[in-house]
Amino acid sequence: MGTCQPVGTGRNGKQDPRGDHKIRKGTPGTAPGSAPWIYKGDKETKVSEYDVVVVGCGLSGAIIARRLAEEMKKKVLIIEKRNHIGGNCYDYIDDETGILMNMYGAHLFHTNSERVFKYITKYGDWTRWEHQVVGLIDQQICPIPPNITTVNMLCGAQIKTVKEMDEWLSKTQVKYEDIKNGEQMAKSRVGPVLYEKIFKHYTYKQWKKYPEQLDKSILARIPCRNNFDTRYFGDKFQVLPKDGYTQFFVGLLDHPSIDVHLNTDFFKLKEEIPEGKLIIYTGPVDRYFASQGFETLEYRSINFHIERYMNYGFYQPNSVVNYPGKEVDFTRIVEYKHFLNQQTPHTVIVKETTTDKGDPYYPVLNDRNMNLFKKYKELADKEKNVHFVGRLANYKYFNMDQAILNALEYFDEHFLGKQEQKEAYDFVSDSV
């Protein structure tokens, strides 16, 4: 019999949209409470003694900090408002089940970039992991992204070859002279039946907007296989960190010229930062310029509903099961013990629902927000000695490999003066 916990009800009874996380004591890079806490450094060191202040300890901030310390011999202070390092990549051992799990949703690393893969393997060991996703559709467990098997199951087809699948797609794809929104983009790629069964309502649950209300770019990279491949990603490098993402960040931040302060609000500390100090800002750009009186940018966030089952075996047949239909309000269930084939008699699952409130995860790319971001971008370009780096500062959705490559190339251009051609991104969005 499984034991369950309602969403976000912790030991202190307070609601936390991130869920009822029970972090094992001694997890590295994690503050023991909510008070300002020094993960690395000396409390006697004043802000004025640092060469650079980095705001945010996610991928962008940590990578820029490491290169500033290592290649430019700068003394760097990273300040992070959360109680842990690693940004949204942060993971930990669940104290009740012994399972390694992510706090902010499953993170599957994939990239085609040789440079990115070479960089991450400098700071930890990684193991090959080809992620698969299935969806519960019409009471059937179907492969996602849709492939030949999915089409045969949902559309009553009898496709056997790549050629037959290409012919089926060509016939079912809706042709438009000028694609204007997300619905038209999706139908142009997978046709009306798969659009209705897999993407229409799932998109609404994720964005609280139907595809017709969203920019075409959001659904422009909908993956669809013309074969029997069940992998979610097709990238050359698909890996997970053997000891977890948090341990990877421990290695990335392991430099004597990098200090890290957790539970520390940049905007409360800002007055202590001497004028002209170099700042790397990776937080929300609208928060930085809140005093300007503009409206805020729109994001979607996620609530995580955690359930633990003791002596239960597996809850579901796959690490991730999507629920694209209207029958339930959650988008997917993640069962973490599948990842890295963790051996434990217990299990923990996380149901995910999206919301307009909470931590900013996905920028809502419509005309209103893009026009508003242009105003913030103009302000950011005028700000002296402040570099705006990363997804929140640039109002973009980055996969992990994109965030890493963006940080590496930003450093090359702005700190090393290199003007080399940037590497083209080739990716399937994690958000689909």
Q: Once rounded to an integer, what is the mean pLDDT over residues 270-276?
A: 93
Region of 298 on the Ramachandran plot (φ > 0 left; ψ -120 to 50 alpha; else beta): beta
The residue ranges of every structural domain in the chain are 38-127+242-297+364-430, 133-219
pLDDT digits (tens, 9 = 90+) for 115-168: 999 999 999 999 999 999 999 999 999 999 999 999 999 999 999 999 999 999
Closest alpha carbon to 312 in 54, 17, 68, 2: 2
Q: Once rounded to an integer, what is the mean pLDDT over residues 262-287?
A: 96
pLDDT digits (tens, 9 = 90+) for 286-341: 999 999 999 999 999 999 999 999 999 999 999 999 999 999 999 999 999 999 99
**8 A C-beta contact, residue 408 and residue 426:** no
pLDDT digits (tens, 9 = 90+) for 357-375: 999 999 988 889 999 999 9
- Report angle CA 30, 35, 37 to the nearest 5 degrees: 50
In three-state form (DSSP H/G/I as H, E/B as E, the rest C), the secondary structure along the chain is: CCCCCCCCECCCCCECCCCCCCECCCCCCECCCCCCEEEECCCCCCHHHCCEEEECCCHHHHHHHHHHHHHCCCCEEEECCCCECCHHHCEEEECCCCCEEECCCCCCEEECCHHHHHHHHHHCCEEECCCEEEEEECCEEEEECCCHHHHHHHHCCCCCCHHHHHHHHHHHCCCCCCCCCHHHHHHHHHHHHHHHHHHHHHHHHHHCCCHHHCCHHHHCCCCCCCCCCCECCCCCEEEEECCCHHHHHHHHCCCCCEEEEECCCHHHHHHHCCCCCEEEECCCHHHHCHHHCCCCCCEEEEEEEEEEECCCCCCCCCCEEECCCCCCCCCEEEEHHHHHHCCCCCEEEEEEEEECCCCCCEECCCHHHHHHHHHHHHHHHHCCCEEECCHHHHCCCCCHHHHHHHHHHHHHHHHCCCCCCCCCCCCCCCCC
pLDDT digits (tens, 9 = 90+) for 66-103: 999 999 999 999 999 999 999 999 999 999 999 999 99
pLDDT digits (tens, 9 = 90+) for 162-212: 999 999 999 999 999 999 999 999 999 999 999 999 999 999 999 999 999
48 phi and psi angles, rounded to 5 deg? -65, -15
Flag whether pLDDT at 13 surpasses 50: no
What amino acid occupies position 370? M
Taking the C-alpha atoms of residue 206 and residue 367, their distance in angstroms, rounded to an integer, is: 18
pLDDT at 365: 83
Closest alpha carbon to 102 in 114, 88, 122, 115: 88
Encoded tokens for 177: 């002279």
- Report angle CA 427, 430, 432 to the nearest 5 degrees: 105
Q: Once rounded to an integer, what is the mean pLDDT over residues 6-20?
A: 58
Taking the C-alpha atoms of residue 269 and residue 80, their distance in angstroms, rounded to an integer, is: 11
What amino acid occupies position 339? F
pLDDT at 424: 66
Q: Once rounded to an integer, what is the mean pLDDT over residues 242-248?
A: 98
Encoded tokens for 40: 């690395």
pTM metric for this prediction? 0.93
- The CATH number of 38-127+242-297+364-430, from 3.30.420.10, 1.20.1250.20, 3.20.20.70, 3.40.50.720, is 3.40.50.720
